[in-house]
Chains A and B, each alone.
Chain A
Amino acid sequence: GAVVSQHPSWVICKSGTSVKIECRSLDFQATTMFWYRQFPKQSLMLMATSNEGSKATYEQGVEKDKFLINHASLTLSTLTVTSAHPEDSSFYICSALGLAATGELFFGEGSRLTVL
């Protein structure tokens, strides 16, 4: 099946620094990727929709200047958490929409961010 890979799997950074998380579709092209945030023992909250070659669409309440999304190719989307603070600590998950008619979503393994 299709594979979506996230990197890094976990990252620890100091408050005030920026962190970039990559989401790659390894064996298929994805014009659309989605970024979610998951707090401990809670559901996935959609942050933004990332479209290749265009600006991301952010959900209400998500700061676009805080969470920069770039989808420069059909296999790569990046999420950059700028000037990270402890409250940004979370599990970030991406998913990619396959091009097949079924339109199945494939999820990455997630990236755990801890901001000290």
Chain B
Amino acid sequence: AQRVTQPEKLLSVFKGAPVELKCNYSYSGSPELFWYVQYSRQRLQLLLRHISRESIKGFTADLNKGETSFHLKKPFAQEEDSAMYYCALAGGTSYGKLTFGQGTILTVHP
């Protein structure tokens, strides 16, 4: 069975501070991991995926297979980063079938 855990439901930081949203996963094979973001009153949208190794809006995430983690980081948080963040895992042959973590609400204070 696959599982995604985001231990923090709420995370608050001040503008300009570093931020790290934690994500741990459980999966027996080679997972594909994603971070999705949902801004207030908007739909879910893809932030980044581990295979692309991109930096989107200043966010990065590194897959650590040893620690089974895929933490999302940004060195200097901005107020517009305030949103709900979901870590998600796609495993097996059913491409696009995602298992989501519980989500972390990030609030960046001015």
Which residues on A are within 8 Å of B, measured CB to CB? 4, 32, 34, 41-46, 49, 93, 95, 97, 103-105, 107-110
Count, chain B residues at interface, CB 8 A = 18
Q: Is the interface of A mostly helix, strand, loop or mixed?
A: strand
Report B's interface with A, CB cutoff 8 A: 9, 36, 42-46, 86, 94-103
Is B43 a contact of A44 with CB atoms below 8 Å?
no
Given contacts A42-B102, A43-B103, is CB(A105)–CB(B96) below 8 Å?
yes
B103:A93 contact, CB within 8 angstroms: no
Query: A-B pairs with CB below 8 Å: how many?
Result: 45
List of A residues within 8 angstroms of B100 by Cβ:
43-45
Interface pair B97/A43, CB less than 8 Å apart: no
B-side binding surface: helix, strand, loop or mixed?
loop
Shortest distance from the beta carbon of B20 to any chain A beta carbon, whole Å: 20
Specify which chain A residues have a CB less than 8 angstroms from the CB of B86 in the assembled complex: 43-44
- Shortest 9 CB-CB contacts between residues of A and residues of B: A97-B96, A107-B44, A109-B43, A43-B102, A43-B100, A44-B100, A107-B43, A105-B96, A103-B95
CA distance A105 to B66 in the complex (A): 27
Q: Which residues of B contact A34 (CB under 8 A)?
A: 96-98
Give the complex CA separation of A103 and B97 in angstroms.
11
A105 to nearest B CB, angstroms?
5
A108–B97 CA distance with the chains assembled, in angstroms: 15
Considering only CB atoms, which chain A residue lies closest to B105 in the complex?
A41
Contacts of A41 in B (CB 8 A): 9
CB-CB under 8 A for A95 and B45, given A42-B102, A43-B101, A43-B103 = no
Chain A contacts of B97 at CB under 8 A? 34, 46, 49
